[in-house]
Amino acid sequence: MSAAASEIHPKTVRGVTRVARNAKSAAAQLATASTAEKNAALQAIADGLRANSAKILTANEADLAAGEANGLSAALLDRLSLSEERIEAIAASVEKVIDLDDPIGNIVVGRTLPNGIRLTQTRVPMGVIGAIYEARPNVTVDIAILSLKAGNATVLRGGSAAEKSNSEIIAVLRRAVESAGLPADTVNGIDQYGREGASVLMNARDYVDLLIPRGGAELINTVVQESIVPVIETGIGNVHMFIDSSATVKTAVDLVLNSKTHRPSVCNSLETLLVHEKAAKRVLPKILERLEAAGVVVHADSDVAQLAPESMKIRKVSRRDWAKEYLDLELAVKIVTGIDEAIDHIRAYTSGHTEVIVTKDIDNAETFVAGIDAAAVGVNVSTRFTDGGELGFGAEVGISTQKLHARGPMGVEQLTTTKWVMVGNGQVRL
């Protein structure tokens, strides 16, 4: 992705810089836009997506055909794929964002100082938000609409695999926003500038206030290491589930199957299953039977293999498997001696995304929640709930696995910053 500044074509530098500059001008107008104005633009976006679904699907079909020809993985093809149903779901998510409270102007802290100055910490837009992501046209909409609700402009680099889909979607979004009286440059795309364009964006500190990478480990690491624009890291999802000794068979089976097979190509999909040795003989045979029926490839040792159906082929697990984000119908499975070993294993291999315990023991649930350091920790729930839409944010721009500014699913509020406002009547410092 990266390229030395001297190697980037001057036209690319000028082009991306112009886009970023225009976005900054749009952000200045958005900062003073009313909630009603922003909501009108969001409704126009939802209506525009529905009205232009045929054009979007035609562009998406071209991207999918190119992706298959270029050997794009099944996981990425799934993320890339759109349908009438998915476009309707995206449009519906826009309308959910309309219903969210507008955080701009909210007072975080307010007090009067001893000298009479009234002091408030107030939420304000971030400004211009850049995003670099892979093969996910729905993310184009998610980032644009959440940023708009928070009063921000966006510069989007969605990758070559989704270039035609993103181009069509961004055109729809720009027309919709402009029709509602806000600047078209509220939403901008730079896919036409390729990887060099992403490098320019990572260096556009004068115009871009925040950069969010979404994708595989290589993309995220590149942006984190090379960007001079502040970055919020959305990490990979090496997600674990621990089946405690008290877990019921039905609950364990249901949660494992949903977490692994509901949509295996996404970052909150289960990747490693840990099972208490006292529950293994009771729950693992049924879990493995259902995993086999669902087409899941299991990586495990001989202890697990002994409990698998005779027809099931178990791949020998390696240390590399414990750290792997499969994003596919594959799962690493391990029998552990208890909750302490489960926590130790998770601490050794977690990506800090989502970790879940399945248990009826309240003390063990509390021990797990306290002992696990991750953006999201669950008790008796599917890992698939670590999602902005599911948690009531309307949508998300990503799931932050870092600890500064924002952590977990990033919704509207996480795309704001604050400023201190001091109101006095002529006070001077003595």
Q: 140-188, pLDDT tens digit by residue? A: 999 999 999 999 999 999 989 999 999 999 999 999 999 999 999 999 9
- Nearest CA to 137 among 167, 174, 107? 167
Question: Residue 334 in contact with residue 242, Cβ under 8 Å?
Answer: no
Residues of the chain with CATH 3.40.605.10: 10-233+407-422
Average pLDDT, the chain: 94
Average pLDDT over residues 218-240: 89
pLDDT one-digit tens code per residue, 201-217: 999 999 999 999 988 77
Residues of the chain with CATH 3.40.309.10: 240-391
Q: In which order are the strands placed within the sheet that holds 239-243?
A: 314-316, 297-300, 330-336, 270-276, 239-243, 354-358, 376-379
Three-state DSSP state, 85: helix
Question: Residue 236 in contact with residue 216, Cβ under 8 Å?
Answer: yes
Confidence band of 3 (pLDDT split at 50, 70, 90): low
Question: Residue 149 in contact with residue 34, Cβ under 8 Å?
Answer: no
- Architecture of domain 240-391 in CATH? 3-Layer(aba) Sandwich (3.40)
Question: Residue 188 in contact with residue 170, Cβ under 8 Å?
Answer: yes
pLDDT one-digit tens code per residue, 394-412: 777 878 887 777 888 888 9
| Maximum Cα interatomic distance, the chain, rounded to a whole number of Å | 83
Query: Alpha-carbon distance 401 to 213, whole Å?
Result: 12
Confidence band of 4 (pLDDT split at 50, 70, 90): low
Question: Residue 52 in contact with residue 172, Cβ under 8 Å?
Answer: yes
Confidence band of 293 (pLDDT split at 50, 70, 90): very high
Question: Residue 129 in contact with residue 143, Cβ under 8 Å?
Answer: yes
CA distances from 244 to 286, 384, 400 (A): 15, 19, 28
Confidence band of 134 (pLDDT split at 50, 70, 90): confident
pLDDT at 229 over 60: yes
Query: Alpha-carbon distance 115 to 34, whole Å?
Result: 33
Burial 50-88 (b: 16+ CB within 10 A, else e): bebbeebbebbeebbebbeeeebeebbbbbbbbeeebbe
Query: Alpha-carbon distance 15 to 2, whole Å?
Result: 17
Please give the model's pTM, rounded to 2 decimal places.
Answer: 0.81
pLDDT for the residue 323: 93
Tokens of 176: 């919709």
Can you name the CATH fold of 10-233+407-422?
Aldehyde Dehydrogenase; Chain A, domain 1 (3.40.605)
E strand residue ranges, 41-152: 107-112, 118-125, 128-133
Three-state DSSP state, 213: strand
